[in-house]
């Protein structure tokens, strides 16, 4: 596996040609099976796979969360080599933000920016777009692989791809959520939980599944409120939201017609760690 650290290295070492497709898997490291599933998907679909590891400071609205973000770079490199990743892009901050981290342009994400994650993490999606814009410009992939675990992020990136002409040829591939046997969605942040916290955290996916199983056409507000209580009683310190939303633009669904594709999304804290999860209703 080639490990490249600069934009110039990337330009010189990653060949672009019509008959060799490039798959790209952007990550913040502390890799787990969720990340590796994206890598495998890219390897199955593309001729060359580039993975990036960069803990992007501009998407952290909470400086403590940024400081505590797990970093396991030696193990990450081992895992990527084992999976047969072709290129790891491992830039320093200056390489991604040569002119500083200040946002140079605002991305027009519409309402997607203000709801759910956007409401609780102001500026988060602008930071995500800022880094993904830069990475896509440097890597210039044919396919971009992202996980449904970050459902709203996928919708935001889908929108970003329509905002820039240079991204028009990039296909976004959304891969399913990888879970622990307990049902807990895999996440780098899980590494910050105690054994007890990990056990309790499984309640998040179980609760989403239970809401999905009980969903009926009409108003499901009572189900959502019950679920919120259930999480609190089960040891979650704080529930930012549980919501039933349209699967495409994520607008809140008050009265479900029983046919519209919807998704149930949640964000909640356990042991001070913020976890997100979602489940689609087909
Ligand atoms: P992160 O390193 O958390 O920024 O995640 C990098 C990519 O991995 C994003 O596209 C995530 O959605 C994806 N990802 C993270 N956790 C999972 C998971 N449990 N299953 C599938 N994809 C995931």
Angle between helices 195-214 and 221-233 (to 10 degrees): 160
Q: DSSP assignment, residue 193? A: S
> If you average pLDDT over residues 88-98, what whole number do you get?
97
For ligand 1, the distance from its centroid to the CA atom of residue 216, given in whole angstroms, is: 30
Average pLDDT over residues 94-101: 96
pLDDT(74) > 90: yes
pLDDT surpasses 90 at 16: no
CA angle 79, 82, 85 (to 5 degrees): 85
Instruction: Tell me the Cα Rg of the chain.
Output: 19
**Per-residue pLDDT tens over the stretch 245-279:** 999 999 999 999 999 999 999 999 999 999 999 99
The response to whether residue 175 sits with its C-beta less than 6 Å from ligand 1 reads yes
Q: Assign 172 a pLDDT band (cuts: 50, 70, 90).
A: very high
Q: Which atom of ligand 1 is nearest to the CA of 153?
A: 12
Q: d(Cα 149, Cα 185) in Å, to the nearest integer?
A: 7
Active site includes 251? no
- Ligand 1 centroid–CA 146 distance in Å is 7
What DSSP assignment string belongs to 1-34?
-EEE-SHHHHHHHS--BTTB-EEEEEE-SS--HH
Number of CB atoms found within 10 A of residue 282's CB = 7
Residue 17 has a pLDDT of 85
* CB 28 less than 6 A from any atom of ligand 1: yes
Mean pLDDT, to the nearest integer, of 54-81?
96
Which of 171, 168, 177, 167 is CA-nearest to residue 204?
Answer: 177
Would you say the CB of residue 157 lies under 6 angstroms from ligand 1? no
Mean pLDDT of the chain: 97
Is 149's C-beta closer than 6 angstroms to any atom of ligand 1?
A: yes
Tell me how far the alpha carbon of residue 187 lies from the centroid of ligand 1, in angstroms: 7
The three-state secondary structure class of 195 is helix
Maximum separation of any 2 CA atoms in the chain, in Å: 57
Q: With 90 as the cut, is the pLDDT of residue 94 above it?
A: yes
Contacts (Cβ under 8 Å, ≥6 apart) of 12? none
For the CA of 145, the closest atom of ligand 1 is 10
Determine the average pLDDT of the residues in 192-217. Answer: 98
Whole-prediction pTM: 0.97
Residue 138 has pLDDT above 90, yes or no: yes
Is residue 15 scored above 90 in pLDDT? Answer: no
Are 36 and 25 contacting, i.e. CB atoms less than 8 angstroms apart? no
């Amino acid at each position: 596996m080639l490990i490249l650290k600069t934009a110039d290295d990337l330009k010189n070492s990653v060949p672009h040609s019509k008959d060799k497709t490039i798959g790209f898997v952007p990550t913040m490291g502390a890799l787990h099976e969720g990340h590796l599933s994206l890598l495998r998907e890219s390897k199955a679909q593309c001729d060359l796979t580039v993975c990036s590891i960069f803990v992007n400071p501009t998407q952290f609205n909470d400086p403590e969360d940024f400081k505590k973000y797990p970093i396991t770079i030696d193990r990450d490199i081992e895992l990527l080599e084992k999976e047969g990743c072709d290129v790891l892009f491992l830039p320093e901050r200056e390489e991604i933000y040569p002119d500083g981290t200040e946002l140079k342009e605002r991305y027009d994400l519409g309402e997607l920016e203000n709801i759910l994650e956007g409401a609780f993490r102001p500026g988060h999606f602008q930071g995500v777009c800022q880094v993904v814009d830069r990475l896509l410009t440097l890597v210039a992939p044919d396919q971009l692989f992202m996980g449904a675990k970050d459902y709203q992020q996928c919708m935001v990136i889908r929108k970003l791809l329509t905002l820039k002409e240079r991204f028009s040829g990039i296909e976004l591939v959304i891969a399913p959520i990888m879970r622990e046997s307990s049902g807990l969605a895999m996440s780098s942040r899980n590494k910050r939980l105690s054994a007890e916290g990990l056990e309790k955290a499984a309640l998040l996916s179980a609760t989403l599944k239970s809401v999905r199983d009980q969903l009926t056409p009409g108003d499901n507000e009572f189900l959502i409120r019950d679920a919120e209580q259930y999480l609190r009683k089960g040891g979650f310190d704080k529930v930012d939201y549980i919501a039933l939303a349209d699967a495409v633009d994520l607008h809140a669904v008050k009265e479900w017609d029983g046919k519209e594709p919807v998704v149930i999304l949640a964000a909640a804290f356990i042991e001070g760690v913020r976890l997100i999860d979602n489940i689609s209703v087909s």
